Amino acid sequence: MNKREGRLAKQNKLRQLLLSSPYVLWSIGFIILPLVMVVYYGLTSRDGGGFTLENLKLIWEPTHRATLILSVQLSVISTILCLLIAYPLALALRSLRLKSNGFVILLFMLPMWMNFLLRTIAWQNILEKNGVINMLLSAVGLPKLNIINTPTAIVLGMVYDFLPFMIIPIYNVLSKIGDDVIQAAADLGANYFQILWRVILPLSKPGIVSGLTMVFVPSLTTFVISDILGGGNILLIGKVIEQKFKMANDWNAGCGLSLVLMVFIFICMAIVQKYDKDSEGTSVW
């Protein structure tokens, strides 16, 4: 009997190994190893391949530093704007009391079926000198706005493209908060703002955190939005990296700058991990 149990346990172990190994191997090959390559290129010199910190120091060059600062500024602004737009929206959606989350997620995912480059290009039409907004403004006799090819246009593009990534995680968390919790707070004498500040907000923290990172990281690293709405004269750090690979063919410099960006990304990951312990990442989507 004991022998048989031992064999069964062994069999189970083998089965688990067989089941786990494909993904473990896959993630080593396609997640870990590629990142190791970035670190390797980022820390070696272009000619010869010895260890060097030169590629990392590139970020301190005045032009690169200014680019990084501008990128951080614009992405922080658009992340905050996304939060300010998405949170009241998620609250309003919650109060509709829909039976399933499916509809809301669909509504905000559907635009993705139109290519995002095209949708960003469409903003040129809306924002440009003789575009939709200025046409409307002059129709009611207001002065024209000059938004296109400014940092404002880039921020608008970022908010537009990444807003769904803020809405969905926050809505997912809010829709799971039970009415009884809120009623309990109300019964104990809390007014609307106290309920919002001391009950709903703390409970929705995981959604907010994952929304913040889902917007901040792509905004920080985009090169497409600034290409299209910045008119090519506003350089963001993502564009600098892209040019190092596609134009200058200096992979080591590109990887060095990517490593600097990855520091920001890792900080975000650490924050998410901290808040994500019990939900095991499900709040991301």
Partner 1 sequence: MVKRLIQKGYIGLVIVFLYAPILVLMVLSFNGSKYRSKWGGFTFKWYHELLENEKILNALWTTLLLALLSALLATMLGTLAAVAMNRMKKLPKAIMMSITNIPILNSEIVIGISMMLLYFAISFSLGFTSVLLALTAAHMPYVILNVLPKLRQTSRSTYEAALDLGASPVFAFFKIVLPDIFPGVLSGFMLAFTLALDDFVITHFTKDAKVSTLSTVIYAETRRGIEPEIYALSTIMFTVVLVLLIVMNRMKASAAKKLAEQQK
Residue 282 DSSP symbol: G
Q: Which is nearer to partner 1, 200 or 272 (CB)?
A: 272
Cα(267)–Cα(32) distance, rounded to whole angstroms?
18
Among the listed residues 98, 107, 201, 263, the single contact to partner 1 using CB under 8 A: 107
Question: What are the CA-CA distances from residue 38 to residues 29, 42, 68 (Å)?
Answer: 14, 6, 19
Q: Does 19 bind partner 1 (CB under 8 A)?
A: yes
Nearer to partner 1, 185 or 209 (CB): 209
> Which C-beta is closer to partner 1: that of 206 or that of 254?
254
Binding partner 1 by CB under 8 A: which of 2, 47, 130, 247?
A: 130
Closest CA to 217 of 200, 232, 238: 238
Closest distance between partner 1 and the C-beta of residue 234, in Å?
Answer: 15
Which positions from 172 to 211 touch partner 1 by CB under 8 A, shown as an x/- string?
----------------------------------------
**Residue 94: both structure tokens together:** 């919650």
Contact 253, 262 (CB under 8 A): no
When asked if residue 95 is in the footprint of partner 1 (CB under 8 A), the reply is: yes
Q: Which of residues 22-41 bind partner 1 (CB under 8 A)?
A: 22-24, 26-27, 30-35, 37-38, 41
What DSSP state is assigned to residue 142? P
Give the DSSP per-residue string, 174-203.
Answer: HTTS-HHHHHHHHHTT--HHHHIIIIIHHH
Cα R_g (the chain), whole angstroms: 24
Amino acid in position 236? L
**Binder to partner 1 among 59, 68, 153, 163 (CB under 8 A)?**
163
For position 284 contacting partner 1 by CB under 8 A, the verdict is: yes
In the complex, the smallest distance separating the C-beta of residue 225 from partner 1, rounded to whole angstroms, is: 11
Instruction: Evaluate whether 94 touches 175 at the Cβ level (below 8 Å).
Output: yes
Give the C-alpha distances (Å, rounded to integers) separating 120 from 72, 159, 225. Answer: 20, 11, 7
204 versus 252: smaller Cβ distance to partner 1: 252
Interface of this chain with partner 1, residues 208 to 267, rule: CB under 8 A: 213, 217-218, 220-221, 223-224, 227-228, 238, 241-242, 245, 251, 254-255, 258, 261-262, 265
Cβ of residue 180: shortest distance to partner 1, in angstroms? Answer: 21
